[in-house]
Amino acid sequence: MRPVVILSVIAVVVGSTSVASHAQSWRPPAENQRCPSKWGAGDERGSGNHMKPETVLRATRLIRTGEVIDIAHVLSASMPFFGTRRFDVHTKRTFMNQPSNRRGSNEEVLISEIGQVGTQLDGFAHQTIEDKVYNCFKVDDIATRGGFTKVGIEKVGSLITRGVLIDIAGLKGVDTLPDTYEITAQDLQQALQRQNLSLQAGDAVIIHTGWGKLWAKDNARYVKSCPGIGVGAAEWLAKQDPMLVGSDNWPVEVAPNPDREVSLPVHQIMLVVNGIHLLENLKLDELAAKRVHEFAFIMQPLKLQGFSGSTVAPIAVR
């Protein structure tokens, strides 16, 4: 029995080493390597610059049945929250009007990080490399008590483009990828080949991991870790020049990163270096079940002046 045990231990160690060696670490590029943005010095829209009439027309040509599929979760107190974020709703029964038709009124007070809860779009003010955001705007120069004077989420505007679902869970034949599975560039390419699709500049690239099945069912596990794209996959995607990259997990990327010396590097790669928005906490079960891999993607962030992000409710139309 001893040789069998020893061989088993060796196999585990070798497997762990293989996983560790597979992980690609990352260090932020110098300012002169990432600024000015390819969209020009002073640009605040990044990949949102892809939004043009021809982008909209390309998306509408994908609509054949008119079926609308919601890809956002319902906002409620039962959502998983990262860190100390919250969603407290207080209903207000205001008053009964005196005229004869007896019209009553109701409204709500919401206490929440409305730009960073639920299905959400990360803006460029959300993440930094040291003290600078996208296009090397310095945080101290753009941050005020009332919001950011540059790269606020209101600069994004409506986004209508071709949406592409890359079904990695489907590629692997599972409902949900393992808790800290790192999606590679090869995974993305194999899934696209399996779906007989290729990416085009300006696409909304949506990645299905199956992690959304935990939403409001096992919130503790949902926010503890998640499968997602790694550094290599992120850099490959950035070269495809998408309008945004989204997923059905909370950071789009694998968490924690296999290299424990770095913290959510894909956020910096996408938002800070390349000016590509991240779309988090998507509801992708219906899209995946119906194998809707190509569709018209439609979304508009809330017009929140100077915010670092926006809760959103995107739709897929086929």
225-239 pLDDT, tens per residue?
999 999 999 999 999
d(CA 37, CA 39): 5
Task: Check residue 233 and give its pLDDT.
Answer: 98
Written as six digits, the tokens of 196 are: 């007989």
Domains of the chain, by residue range, sit at 26-81+114-317
Q: What is the 3-state secondary structure (H, E, C) of the chain?
A: CHHHHHHHHHHHHHHHHHHHHHCCCCCCCCHHHHCCCCCCCCCCCHHHHHCCHHHHHHHHCCCCCCCEEECECCCCCCCCCCCCCCEEEEEEEEEECCCCCCCEEEEEEEEECCCCCCCEEECHHHCCECCECHHHCEHHHHEECCEECCCCHHHCCCEEEEEEEEEHHHHHCCCCCCCCCEECHHHHHHHHHHCCCCCCCCCEEEEECCHHHHCCCCHHHHHHCECEECHHHHHHHHHCCCCEEEECCCCCECECCCCCCCCCHHHHHHHHHCCCEEEECECCHHHHHCCCCEEEEEECCCCCCCCCEEECCCEEEC
Task: Check residue 193 and give its pLDDT.
Answer: 98
Percent of residues, the chain, with pLDDT higher than 90: 90
Give the tens place of pLDDT for each residue, 89-105. Answer: 999 988 888 899 999 99
Percent of residues, the chain, with pLDDT higher than 70: 93
If you average pLDDT over residues 273-288, what whole number do you get? Answer: 98
Instruction: Tell the CATH topology of 26-81+114-317.
Output: Glucose Oxidase; domain 1 (3.50.30)
Q: What are φ and ψ of residue 50, in 5° steps?
A: -70, -20
- The number of residues in the chain equals 318
Give the tens place of pLDDT for each residue, 35-47. Answer: 999 999 999 999 9
Task: Check residue 7 and give its pLDDT.
Answer: 39
Task: Check residue 23 and give its pLDDT.
Answer: 58
Q: What are φ and ψ of residue 298, in 5° steps?
A: -135, 130
In this structure, is the dihedral angle defined by the CA atoms of residues 40, 36, 252 and 122, taken in order, positive or negative? negative
